[in-house]
Amino acid sequence: MKSYHHGNLKEELIKYACTICERDGYTKLSIRSLAKESNVSQTAPYRHFKTKEEVYAAVAAEGFNKLYKAVFVESDKLTLKDFIQSSKNYIDFGLQNANTYDLMFGTAVGDFSQHPELVETANKTFESLVLNLSSFLKDKDEDILAGKSITVWALLHGMVGILRKQSITEVTFTLKNLVLWALQEE
Amino acid sequence: MKSYHHGNLKEELIKYACTICERDGYTKLSIRSLAKESNVSQTAPYRHFKTKEEVYAAVAAEGFNKLYKAVFVESDKLTLKDFIQSSKNYIDFGLQNANTYDLMFGTAVGDFSQHPELVETANKTFESLVLNLSSFLKDKDEDILAGKSITVWALLHGMVGILRKQSITEVTFTLKNLVLWALQEE
DNA sequence: GTTAAGATGTTTACACTGCAAACATTAATT
DNA sequence: AATTAATGTTTGCAGTGTAAACATCTTAAC
């Protein structure tokens, strides 16, 4: 016997949206299929999301949470090994969650500022990760430290983009050497 | 008096597709609007593109051509100034053609290998650019040189992704210092 | 505790989409 | 000149985003 009200429809919708977006790509997600999956009428999701883009934003936010969990290393001061592992985890996340990653960094959600919750989640994630990185990239100068962190991030982010399109260029590299070289640490 | 056959429909379709994809994002492109713009029946485009994804592939290929023109520097041996300018041009291209860039590096065209012309164009572009870069990043060792080129590319590519989402983090940096630092020159 | 209001669901409707199939016209090849 | 291939049109289907009007349940106010 099912009641008129679902109870926690929004969460269920997001959960399924995440699954579809990652498995088939976000263009394959339809509000209607979403509704059907929760045994709810076609337009019920519109009580929780004004537009489809808001669903995308929710999925992207979840993506940032997952990224955080995948990359963060519990430590006050990262060792080199931690650092390499963390970098590896970032790239792996990007490759193994390609469609979600695309949603997070592509143009599907055009203007983050329209989705305050997404902005908050994304900021929280990156502040934590940069802070985490900083404990390895120790440097007196604050600006240089920030610059290094961003550069490492850009490098990893860029690597994800490149490795995803193997067909463009066959890339063989050892992550460790590359990062070390870019950071000019021994 | 218009003739039954258009003449060069395919080119016209691609041209308009590029405009729409860049202006509104590729999700806004419809085969039908494309057809209408060329004063041709709704399904005429299907004589030239089997699926919508093939249209995307064509737009992406055009994107790689434009990227090449924007970034390539005519010179046998890049000066530092050339190199910086070229890097700047890459980032500018990514920022000012955000939607096209997304089409080129995102997941809209799922499998490049399904679109041989796109693979060819993308490869040509990157071979040229890497070769161009190499003339600045001179190094005895071939592998190190390749590694450096890829790293520079990844760094630039990553920067585009990050700068696009200013809302995530306010990034202030001087391109020159950053690249130089990453390359540990000077 | 009854009631009014707000949240959350349903139904219906509209204009639009990708794309398949059957057909028409023209261009190219023999 | 006749056949074939290329390129166009018409029609049709199943699916889409989302607006509007309506129903039901939950919650807060009295």
- Domain boundaries defined on chain A: 56-183
Query: Residue B44: CB partners within 8 Å, gap ≥ 6?
Result: B6, B9, B35, B38
Does B6 contact strand D, using a CB cutoff of 7 Å?
yes
Q: How far is the CA of A68 from the C1' of D26 (A)?
A: 36
Residues B172-179: contacts with CB within 8 Å, 24+ apart? Answer: B173/A147, B173/A150, B175/B84, B175/B87, B175/B88, B175/B91, B176/B84, B177/A147, B178/A147, B178/A151, B179/B83, B179/B84, B179/B87, B179/B152, B179/B155
C-beta atoms of A167 and B119 within 8 A: yes
Which of A123, A165, A178 is most worth mutating to test chain B (most B CB atoms within 10 A of its CB)? A165
Contacts of A102 in chain B (CB under 8 A): 106-107
CB pairs under 8 A between A and B: 118
C-beta atoms of B102 and A98 within 8 A: no
Tens place of pLDDT per residue across chain A (186 aa): 457 677 799 999 999 999 999 999 999 999 999 999 999 999 999 999 999 999 999 999 999 999 999 999 998 888 888 888 888 899 899 999 999 999 999 989 989 999 999 999 999 998 888 888 888 877 777 777 777 777 788 888 988 988 888 655 555 444 555 555 545 543
Separation in Å, CA of B130 to nearest CA in chain A? 11
Does A73 contact strand C, using a CB cutoff of 7 Å?
no
Contacts of B156 in chain A (CB under 8 A): 158
Does B5 contact strand D, using a CB cutoff of 7 Å?
yes
Q: How far is the CA of B155 from the C1' of C23 (A)?
A: 55
Does B32 contact strand C, using a CB cutoff of 7 Å?
yes
Does A31 contact strand D, using a CB cutoff of 7 Å?
yes
Whether residue B71 has pLDDT greater than 80: yes
Mean pLDDT of chain B: 85
Does A23 contact strand C, using a CB cutoff of 7 Å?
no
Whether residue B167 has pLDDT greater than 60: no
Residue B36: predicted pLDDT: 95
CATH architecture of B56-183: Orthogonal Bundle (1.10)
Average pLDDT over residues B43-47: 97
In A, what residues contact B, Cβ < 8 A? 25, 27, 98-99, 102, 105-108, 110, 112-113, 119, 122-123, 126, 130, 147-148, 150-151, 153-159, 161-162, 164-165, 167-169, 171, 173, 177-178, 181-182, 184
